[in-house]
Amino acid sequence: MLAFLRARAIPGVEVVARDGYTRTIEVAGEVAGAHGTVAVRPATGNALRATIQFPQLSALPTIVARLRRVFDLIADPEVIGAHLSEDPRLAPLVAARPGLRVAGAWDGFELAVRALLGQQITVAGAATLAGRLVAAYGKPLAGGVEGLSHVFPGPERLADADLSSLGLTRARAAALGSLARAVVADPQIFGPRRSLEEAIVKLRALPGIGEWTAQYIAMREMREPDAFPAADLGLMRAMADRKGRRPSPGALLARAERWRPWRAYAAQHLWASQGMSYDRGEAPGDDRSPLRPLHPARLAAGGVRTDGDREARDAGARRATGRGGARPGRAGRRPVAARGRPR
């Protein structure tokens, strides 16, 4: 869990240490402009200990609920693991990481922006772009904590902002602005739906969001346990046969039928088995996103590597070795124990 969050930590907003997670927070509906921090560490037994600094006591239940969502504390790993272990391909992965959970998101809009920024580039590259966005448009954190400087900007801050100066293409900047305006118009757009299918249809209607991004948001924000981004390059790599041949998205989706209703957890095990530090290595052909890849020249100045570079390096390694397969007010401190069995 912490490794997953560490790879995706947004500079200035999140800090993931060896034994804990800290981030800045803002809770909608509370005092305008109120923000604070949360720090989560392992507690004695199967529990987490959260230290919350926020000026409004009335926000405490909402903050605790969000933390339970981020760390997936409602899941029953034993039930999920037993089901997935019925597939001989997943059984050793479950045995290697018993109790693996699906990391949730603190905020739906934040996750959607992060997912849009991550289309067609590495996770590290997306985190760099998100850090630039936060530094330019995020609210400065009062009474700073080491490594934390800003609160992630809300949709109202980005709705009419000129984002092209951040190194984004015009199309990507326009998509982010359109997404922000859509969330301003409907703040509950990332709320729960009657079914996964309804959630995907609703999400795909948003600017720049195709099938992969919709499934990813449904998995991490809407807590849909059966969400599954079948066109994800990392998942296809993890399911490659002994000769390194990857399944097509359709073939992977068919294989994943036996993993229902826990396909999101199967995806997490497959990503973890490959030591993936990224979510998608390339834009799937069936993603409806209108965005083009960021030009390498734009990214090089900021040290952001495109996945095209990763693919070229993998291809070169295969040619050199002769192998066909790729390597896989007043802020109070209130400790709260959030029960669960985190891994």
List per-residue pLDDT tens for the chain, 343 residues long.
898 899 999 999 999 998 899 999 998 765 566 899 999 999 988 899 999 999 989 999 999 999 999 999 999 999 999 999 999 999 999 999 999 999 999 999 999 999 999 887 888 999 999 999 999 999 999 876 889 999 999 999 999 999 988 888 888 899 999 999 999 999 989 988 889 999 999 999 998 899 999 999 999 999 999 999 999 999 999 999 999 999 999 999 999 999 999 999 999 999 999 875 445 433 433 344 433 334 444 434 444 433 333 333 343 344 344 444 433 444 444 444 444 444 4
Look at residue 12 and tell me if it is in a domain.
no
Look at residue 29 and tell me if it is in a domain.
no
Whole-angstrom Cα distance, residue 267 to residue 276?
A: 11
Look at residue 62 and tell me if it is in a domain.
no
pLDDT at position 304 is 43
Beta bridge partners of 139: 151
**What is the identity of the amino acid at 238?**
A
Look at residue 220 and tell me if it is in a domain.
yes
**Tally of structural domains, the chain:** 1
| Residue-range definition of the domain harbouring residue 181 | 76-328
SS3 243: coil
Q: Which pTM does this prediction carry?
A: 0.78
SS3 195: coil
pLDDT at position 208 is 86
Closest to 159 in 3D by CA, of 228, 190, 197, 113: 113
pLDDT at position 276 is 57
Look-up of token digits 């405490």: 60
Look at residue 211 and tell me if it is in a domain.
yes
> Would you name the residues annotated as active-site residues?
232
Look at residue 333 and tell me if it is in a domain.
no
**Phi, psi (degrees; rounded to nearest 5) at 322:** 80, 5
CATH number at 245 reads 1.10.340.30
Look at residue 52 and tell me if it is in a domain.
no
SS3 41: strand
pLDDT at position 32 is 61
pLDDT at position 230 is 95
Cβ pair 247, 236 in contact under 8 A: yes
Whole-angstrom Cα distance, residue 286 to residue 211?
A: 7
Look at residue 66 and tell me if it is in a domain.
no
DSSP secondary-structure letter at 22? E
